[in-house]
């Protein structure tokens, strides 16, 4: 399978429920074409560099997936037909990829920041103990 990334911009005036339906629709297009969705990132509402369909803002969505070339053709066809989509762009990231491996890497990447925070706290605690300093006490004030 090939690894693709599609970024599309959704009409910013849609309510959350309708926007969720739009995103799910395009995930389903990939799955119907025997593709695997690796991740979906909602980047939120951003200002556009130039007006698109008379909008100066849009809701950005990143769709990362593995599929055959026919799936991207069908996805882009659906994106083009949907009036709620302002713009879209697809990029091929790799030719021969194992989707399960990508999903595992994505899950590990999500867990990394949590582990790093715990390690940083432990290092700070060990540094204070090694220096012999007392940990700073919390100061409470009544206002």
- pLDDT digit string, tens, across residues 96-131: 888 788 878 888 877 766 655 556 555 555 555 555
The enclosing domain of 22 has a CATH number of: 3.30.70.60
Residue 118 lies in a domain: no
CA–CA dist 88, 72 (Å, integer): 12
CA–CA dist 89, 78 (Å, integer): 13
- pLDDT digit string, tens, across residues 21-54: 999 999 999 999 999 999 999 999 999 998 888 8
Given this model, what pLDDT does residue 99 score? 77
Residue 55 pLDDT exceeds 60: yes
- pLDDT digit string, tens, across residues 14-30: 999 999 999 999 999 99
Residue 44 lies in a domain: yes
Residue 139 lies in a domain: no
Query: How long, in residues, is the chain?
Result: 143
H helical segments located in 5-81: 16-32, 69-81
Given this model, what pLDDT does residue 98 score? 80
Overall average pLDDT of the 84-88 stretch? 94
Q: In the structure, what pLDDT confidence band is assigned to residue 143 with cuts at 50, 70 and 90?
A: very low
Question: Structurally, how many domains does the chain consist of?
Answer: 1
Look up tokens 């809701």; give the residue: 59
Given this model, what pLDDT does residue 107 score? 81
Helices and strands of the chain, counted as H and E runs:
3, 4
Question: pTM for this one?
Answer: 0.71
């Amino acid at each position: 399978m090939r690894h693709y990334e599609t970024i599309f911009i959704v009409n910013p005036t849609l309510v959350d429920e309708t926007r969720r339906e739009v995103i799910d629709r395009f995930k389903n297009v990939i799955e119907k074409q025997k593709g695997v969705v690796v991740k979906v990132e909602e980047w939120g509402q951003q200002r556009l560099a130039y007006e698109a369909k008379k909008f100066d803002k849009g809701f950005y969505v990143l769709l990362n997936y593995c599929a055959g070339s026919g799936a991207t053709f069908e996805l882009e066809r659906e994106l083009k037909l949907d009036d709620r989509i302002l713009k879209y762009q697809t990029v091929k990231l790799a030719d021969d990829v194992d989707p399960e491996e990508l999903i595992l890497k994505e899950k590990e990447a999500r867990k990394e920041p949590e582990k790093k925070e715990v390690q940083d706290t432990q290092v700070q605690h060990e540094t204070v103990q090694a220096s012999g300093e007392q940990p700073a006490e919390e100061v409470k004030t009544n206002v």
